[in-house]
Amino acid sequence: MLSTTPGPARAWLDVPYGDKDQAKAHGARWDPGARRWFDPRPPTAGLARWAALPEVPDLLPGEDRSFGSGLFVDMVPRTCWFTNVRTCVSEKDWERLRRMILGRAGQRCEACGAEPDRGAGRYLEAHERWAYDDATSTQALRRLICLCSPCHLSTHIGYANVTGRAEQALAHLGEVTGMNRAQVARHVDDAGQLWTARSARRWHLDLTMLTDAGVTLRRPEAPAQRSRTADHTLSRHRGRS
């Protein structure tokens, strides 16, 4: 007769995607149901660096999950490009956040409802929703949302332009929202005007939603340095396209 006594809890690991081959070489195993790496014979010395940290709460302190719902062009000011949550936290903390965001969304895009499909090149990604306070020049994190890669590309239409995928992004935006081409064009134009106005100033980054959840931040770059980082990174992306 089979025992019904549950086995020991998994010794979960927080393994960033870029470390997966190295972790596997040290003995880590993948649980496809949980979509997570674990140590099959804990404690394994070679896996200690990826030992799991406590989970972050499903609702972060001060987070508004109704803020910025749906699919729309959400252009980050040029002075803030390439400086985001992922660049301000450790890889392990980003893995914790990403896992929570995708998990609470039920492994579906929160804009179009699509599931990941590796064969179709569709993945689930975490995206930030920001609030901009003109009076204080503060860019404050208000929500983290799960988007599929096509929706994420449509959201960042400026990046889609830089990488030569604008038509693909615009077509997806129209398909998901039901807007026709003229409506999509007006929507993008309005977003572009807002982007131009916001890009004329330097923004201070407010990530207290994360620090209040116990996530340790790397010190964000000063506003002037963020502008230089954006220029440098953008030139590299243009060189690849």
With beta carbons less than 8 A apart as the criterion, state whether 123 and 149 touch.
Answer: yes
Q: Which two tokens mark 48?
A: 């200690």
**How does pLDDT run across 70-82, given as a tens digit for each residue?**
999 999 898 887 7
Same domain flag for 220 and 169: yes
Q: How sure is the predictor about 30, in pLDDT bands with cuts at 50, 70 and 90?
A: very high
| DSSP letter, residue 192 | H
Same domain flag for 16 and 118: no
E strand intervals along the chain: 11-12, 29-31, 36-39, 124-133, 138-148, 204-206
Q: How sure is the predictor about 3, in pLDDT bands with cuts at 50, 70 and 90?
A: very low
Same domain flag for 204 and 121: yes
3-class secondary structure, 215: coil
Cα angle 65, 208, 226 (rounded to 5 degrees) comes to 105
With beta carbons less than 8 A apart as the criterion, state whether 128 and 143 touch.
Answer: yes
Number of domains in the chain: 2
Residue 173 belongs to some domain of the structure: yes
Residue 151 belongs to some domain of the structure: yes
Query: Whole-model pTM above 0.85?
Result: no
Residue 62 belongs to some domain of the structure: no
Is the pLDDT score of 231 beyond 80? no
- Domain limits for position 33: 11-50
Residue 59 belongs to some domain of the structure: no
| DSSP letter, residue 45 | G
Least confident of 54-68, 85-99, 122-136, 159-173: 85-99
Q: Look at residue 220 in the predicted model and tell me its pLDDT.
A: 63
The rounded percent of the chain whose pLDDT value lies above 90 is 71
Cα angle 67, 103, 30 (rounded to 5 degrees) comes to 150
Q: Look at residue 2 in the predicted model and tell me its pLDDT.
A: 35
Q: Look at residue 235 in the predicted model and tell me its pLDDT.
A: 64
Residue 3 belongs to some domain of the structure: no
